[in-house]
A and B are shown apart, each in its own frame.
Chain A
Amino acid sequence: MAEIFGIPAAALFGQLLLGFINGAFYATLSLGLAVIFGLLNIINFTHGAQYMMGAFVGWMLLTYLGIGYWPALILAPLIVGAIGMIIERTMISRLYKLDHLYGLLLTFGLALIIEGLFRNGYGVSGLAYAIPPQLSGGVNLGFMFLPLYRGWVVVASLVVCLATWFIIEKTRLGAYLRAATENPTLVQAFGINVPLLVTLTYGFGVALAGFAGVLAAPIYAVNPMMGSNLIIVVFAVVVIGGMGSILGAIVTGFSLGLIEGLTKVFYPEAAATVIFIIMAIVLLVKPAGLFGREA
């Protein structure tokens, strides 16, 4: 069999595909962060906790109400998004005129509180959430065994990412949004309810985190700490892609997944650090990120 750098080509393809799947998670999560930062200028440190809430709401719907995976995929993001909007209205909206740091501190504190509450209620061992029957099992691709569910994760994330990009960059609603962040007073003068638009945007960004949470529930342990392990990596993705760049978040998310996947083959010990090394290099060479506009 052909070998590339001493690794059988088939094994390498398998690892690349796995990296791509992880990239799908990075992309969906960093997209939510990018939307919130790009349009609201809020560094949303609660994102990891909201991702965790998505997974937990999915689990609660199943356990307490008997609502399965597919409805949860729609309902959980709506519920988490609604909670996000309440947080935005009652707390975050008071900080728009202040420095970024205040928003960062508030959302970081909220993340700690939310995680603490879930830890108190559900412990730290995690909860079981089964893969939906339609997607259990897998297909043999010749070079690897691909679980159907992982394939679904990639498809679902790609669709959601592209749809988000399309709405914000190509539709009238997206144009309003972008205009409202450039010059809120002027847009308000045209009769558009800017605060409502802002709240909805935050809710949407948070719903994306909740969506990723439900997607993750069947493969990772549903655990109060699941978000805090991931959020730092996702922030690195956003910084590499360029803070606030929608396309940057998507492209960087997927490509970093690939790079991380390759690291896991050639030097597994560095798999957790490779993203931060890239972040450091990008910041040195192009401080605004790969897709960011120079301020």
Chain B
Amino acid sequence: MKVAKLILAAAAAALMSGSALAQEKINVKLGVLNDRSGTYADLSGEGSVVAARMAVEDFKAADKGINVEVISADHQNKPDIGSSIARQWYDQDGVDVILDVPTSSVALAVSEITKEKNKIFINSGAGSSDLTGKACSPNTIHWTYDTWALANGTGSAMVKAGGDSWFFLTADYAFGHALERDTGAVVEKAGGKVLGNVRHPFPGQDFSSFLLQAQGSGAKVIGLANAGADTTNAIKQAAEFGIVQGGQKLAGLLTFVTDVKALGLSTAQGLVLTEAFYWDQNEGTREFSKRFAEKHGGAMPTMVQAGVYASVLHYLKAVEATKGKDAAAVMAKMKETPSDDPLFGKGQVRADGRHIHDMYLFEVKKPEESKGEWDLYKTVATIPAAEAFRPLADGGCSLVN
């Protein structure tokens, strides 16, 4: 009888410890919310989903007791659509983290909802520096870039290189105005002058008239405070009107590697731009990009997609360390642990949610310098993490004491 009791007790103990082990298995659901059909589909879109899945595989989440599911949806760059998907994901589908979200207006809306539901939002695709400024949230991290960093990188570099008078070609909506304002401030601080601006309708098609006004201003630099097809069309037409040959320089304030690829080197050559990541920087970025391209139809990752990968890695590390997915605990862990990954190197999530890392000033290669379809940039300068982003105290974020 005693033996039987002992076996029973042992079995019960085994059962209990078994169930305790099972409880330790953490189920995490990541939602990639971005533009899958419009202007930003190439720079975020399915590529960001591929990047998120690669991060889960590379982290070997399953071996570490974390079950990760990645889902995705198209917000069509509309705040109302993005908000309703975010609510449905949090309320009904059990999503823990929303990732990517290009288009600042949608990102700001998702940030609000995430705070309300106490989940986590890691943005990679949107530009507005307000996400970690006056609209900052304890539940939001802004990973890859923002308008302040772009303005700072391209603006001060151009002034240093002698481009001390500027004329802005600005998309006539919130994002364009913000980019123009931030860049104008950087230019003036560096000792340059802003000679004028022209606000063009968004989206535009023909920029020749505005380019001619910019040419007439005699400014040394024409700053393109717009994005996507507006930027590529403006650069294409500037080449046609001989603006660069005439001695004026173009500054693409938000230009992605996919835009340069679309323009072709003969049109885009000489363009100076700021990005957080380029596939051909070092062994780590090349290795990742090669694997990414195999899974994504041969296209190299953009900085937005790279940001999704790196931020998922950082999130999963925090989940592993805290042995749970409690939003406050994971956010605290992510802010307290420095980040380190093959794509962005060493970095840090600040108190306001801004992830800081080195930014790079690139120049688009001449056609004869390029050795392949995606060989597009050469590095002009590295902007150290500490200088690349808006100082913590200047953002007006309520989380900063």
Report yes or no: B209 in contact with A264, Cβ–Cβ below 8 A: yes
| Chain A positions within 8 Å of B39 at CB level | 124, 225
A120's nearest neighbour on chain B, judged by CB, is B37
B374 at the binding interface (Cβ < 8 Å): no
Given contacts A125-B42, A125-B258, A128-B267, contact A229 B205 (CB under 8 A): yes
Q: How far is the CA of A8 from the CA of B218 in the complex (A)?
A: 14
Beyond A11-B216, A220-B233, 8 additional contacts (C-beta under 8 Å) are A11-B213, A144-B212, A150-B240, A219-B236, A220-B205, A221-B263, A225-B229, A271-B209
0/1 string, A122-145, CB within 8 A of B gives 1 = 011111101100000110000011
Q: Does B72 contact A (CB under 8 A)?
A: no
The docked-state distance in angstroms from the alpha carbon of A145 to that of B261 is 27
Please tell me if A230 contacts chain B, counting CB pairs below 8 Å. Answer: yes
Partner-A contacts on B (CB < 8 A): 37-43, 172, 198-201, 203-206, 208-210, 212-213, 216, 229, 232-233, 236-237, 240-242, 246, 258-259, 261-264, 266-267
A157 at interface by CB-CB < 8 Å: no
Chain A residues with CB under 8 Å of chain B are 8, 11, 14-15, 18-19, 21-22, 116, 119, 123-128, 130-131, 137-138, 144-145, 147, 149-150, 219-221, 223, 225-226, 229-230, 261, 264-265, 268-269, 271-273
Chain A residues whose C-beta falls within 8 Å of the C-beta of B43 in the assembled complex: 125
Q: Which of A18, A19, A22, A149 has the most CB of B within 10 A?
A: A18
Rounded to whole Å, the gap between the CB of A200 and the closest CB of chain B is 31
Closest-by-CB residue of A relative to B37 is A119
- Of A15, A116, A123, A147, which is within 8 A of B240 by CB? A147
Task: Name the residue on A nearest B209 (C-beta).
Answer: A264
Bound Cα distance from A137 to B240, whole angstroms = 7
A8 to B217, CA, bound (A): 12
| CA gap between A226 and B213 in the complex, in Å | 24
Q: Are B203 and A229 in contact (CB under 8 A)?
A: yes
Q: What are 15 A-B pairs with beta-carbon distances under 8 A? A: A15-B212, A18-B208, A116-B37, A125-B43, A125-B259, A126-B262, A137-B242, A147-B241, A147-B242, A219-B236, A219-B237, A225-B229, A230-B205, A269-B172, A271-B200
Alpha-carbon separation in the docked complex, A19 to B210 (Å): 12
Tell me the minimal C-beta distance from A257 to chain B in angstroms.
9
| Bound CA–CA A261/B212 (angstroms) | 11
Q: Which residue of A lies closest to B266 (CB)?
A: A130
Please report the C-alpha to C-alpha distance between residue A145 and residue B215 in the assembled complex, in whole angstroms.
Answer: 10
Shortest Cβ distance from residue B209 to the other chain A in the assembled complex, whole angstroms: 4
Q: A11-B212, A264-B209 are in contact. Are A128 and B242 (CB under 8 A)?
A: no
Q: Which residues of B contact A150 (CB under 8 A)?
A: 208, 240
Selected from B38, B210, B263, B266, the residue in CB contact (under 8 A) with A124 is B38
Contacts of A138 in B (CB 8 A): 240-242
> In the complex the two chains form, is A19's CB within 8 Å of B209's CB?
yes
* B360 CB to nearest A CB, Å: 21
Taking the closest CB of chain A, its distance from the CB of B352, in whole angstroms, is 32
